[in-house]
């Protein structure tokens, strides 16, 4: 019996239309393994986390995000690096999805990370993001690591990846992620 395709929910910590990190996700969609599907989720409709808002009822964009996480076999996160850390929009989305902790769809979810940035890529933000995700009960893929340094040289003006070596690294990351998910099944 052939295993069912691995469904990956992907999202970027950048809201810019021409974001290199969102460009990484689009490139990932082009090099998906045959045994995988992927959807890209836009974090921009998710409001700032507020426990009073949560107590009054989950906002529709948050419910949608949480249900898509629950339906996915794995997550793929592309994060920029802002002030040596993860962007607020990404942390905010994780904060919403992690509540309540015992019912969070993040618990036990496999996740792979990648990011495009400046001279050091996104080394520091990915390290910080790993800490946040581990505390949320997620299984963070340890290797391969995908840091894209000097992103301005590797993406066009519309955030389209133009570097074949990076595209190959994305393909490798996805192959390892899908094989890892199959092991969890």
Give per-residue pLDDT as tens, 63-109. Answer: 999 999 999 999 999 999 999 999 999 999 999 999 999 999 999 99
Whole-angstrom distance, CA of residue 166 vs CA of residue 85: 22
Q: Whole-prediction pTM value?
A: 0.96
Judged on CB neighbours under 10 Å (0-12, 13-18, 19+), 90 is buried
| pLDDT surpasses 90 at 2 | no
Q: Mean pLDDT, to the nearest integer, of 108-122?
A: 95
If DSSP states are collapsed to H, E and C, what string results for 54-107?
HHHCCCHHHHHHHHHHHHCCEEEEECCCECCECCHHHHHHHHHHCCCHHHCCCC
**Fold of the domain spanning 6-184:** Rossmann fold (3.40.50)
């Amino acid at each position: 019996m052939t295993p069912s395709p691995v469904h990956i929910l992907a999202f970027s910590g950048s809201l810019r239309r021409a974001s290199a990190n969102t460009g990484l996700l689009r490139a990932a969609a082009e090099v998906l393994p045959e045994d995988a599907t992927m959807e890209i989720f836009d974090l921009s409709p998710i409001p700032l986390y507020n426990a009073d808002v949560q107590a009054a009822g989950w906002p529709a964009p948050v419910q949608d995000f949480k249900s898509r996480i629950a339906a996915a076999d794995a997550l793929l996160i592309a994060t920029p690096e802002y002030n040596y850390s993860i962007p607020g929009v990404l942390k905010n989305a994780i904060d919403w999805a992690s509540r309540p902790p015992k019912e969070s769809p993040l618990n036990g979810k496999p996740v792979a990370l990648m990011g495009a940035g400046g001279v050091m890529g996104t080394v520091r933000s990915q390290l910080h993001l790993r800490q946040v995700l581990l505390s949320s009960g997620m299984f963070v893929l340890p290797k391969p690591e995908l840091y894209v340094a000097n992103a301005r040289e590797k993406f066009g003006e519309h955030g389209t990846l133009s570097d074949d070596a990076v595209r190959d690294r994305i393909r490798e990351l996805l192959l390892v992620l899908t094989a890892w998910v199959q092991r969890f099944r």
